[in-house]
Amino acid sequence: MENIIEVKSLAKVFGNQAALEDVNFNVKKGEIIGFLGPSGSGKTTTIKILTGQLLQTSGDASVFGVKSSALNKGSYRQRIGVLSDNSGLYQRLSIEDNLKLYCDLYHVPRKRMDEVLDLVNLGNEKKKIVSKLSKGMTQRVLLARTLLHEPDLLFLDEPTSALDPANSQQIHEGLRRLNEKGTTIFLTTHDMSEAEALCNRVAFLHKGKIQLLDEPKALRRQFADGTVNVELKNGKVVSLPAGTEGADELYQYMSKNEVVSIHSNEPTLGDIFVQVTGKELLV
């Protein structure tokens, strides 16, 4: 499958501070890739370079075969959607007026407004003035605006950070449907469950470098330590190591019919992140 994004040896330096260092990755058409990392790890800088808002210090980045230095062209903008923490809405106008503007900017029929508002569960709220909306509703309007023109490639920078779990889940379902229709999604998040739920591949970004990049399942397999937790009839839970020692102990419990349940100790993406970077994945 063709690569939509190709990044080679990308680096960005602000003053003396390296925001990105030797970053390499490709994104295939139809993929959902997640960039995971704490604040300041380089996630937003990567998105800004890939959307033509920032020029790299060195290295190459191209999207749809267009070099990053030429990403400010209208034909490229028509194919992408960007939702970031510095996206804004016109506070004195209604949701409808905000979306009408973007329908016309992208030459999209205005009936599309209703489709995207339904997608973010705001179908009955379009007359509301934006300044009266909660943070979560504002975030959903921004997402609706980003989806208006059905972009081929969607950049989402912490898309559900302001949303409650129910709304986050609804947005995830919407994004999955969009992805099934062929939209490639580049997502940054510090929410491991969001990454697990949505992403085909995840990259761990720390101090401007990609520490790991693979499918979540493959990462869990790679970092699994083989231990199991055994719940016993006396209420205790014991953790058994991999290898003959653990197997023997398990055999003892089983032969005495003391076992209630056995669970594998699969690491979460959060555990792996800590293991690789030595840091918690904090906001």
Applying CB under 8 A, the residues found at the interface with other proteins are: 48, 51-55, 72, 74-75, 77-78, 80, 82, 86-93, 97, 100-107, 145
Which residue(s) pair with 240 in the sheet? 228
CA-to-CA distance for 186 and 45, rounded, in angstroms?
13
If the CB atoms of residues 54 and 195 are measured against other proteins, the closer one turns out to be 54
Q: Note whether 168 and 194 are within 8 A (CB).
A: yes
Compare residues 91 and 239 and give the one whose CB is closer to other proteins: 91
> What's phi and psi for 58, nearest 5 deg?
-155, 170
Beta-ladder partners of 34: 187, 202
- Residue 70 CA to residue 76 CA, distance in Å, equals 9
Residue 60, beta-bridge partner list:
8
Query: Is the Cβ of residue 14 or residue 251 nearer to other proteins in the bound state?
Result: 14
Minimum distance, C-beta of residue 136 to other proteins, in the bound complex (Å): 18
The minimum distance between CB 181 and other proteins, in angstroms, equals 21
In the complex, the smallest distance separating the C-beta of residue 104 from other proteins, rounded to whole angstroms, is 3
How do 58-63 and 66-67 pair as beta strands? antiparallel
Tokens of 35: 């960039």
- Give whichever of 90 and 251 is closer to other proteins, judged by the CB atom: 90
**101 or 213: CB nearest other proteins:** 101
Q: How far is the CB of 103 from other proteins (least distance, A)?
A: 8
* Least distance in angstroms from the C-beta of 77 to other proteins: 4
N- to C-terminal Cα distance for the chain?
A: 34
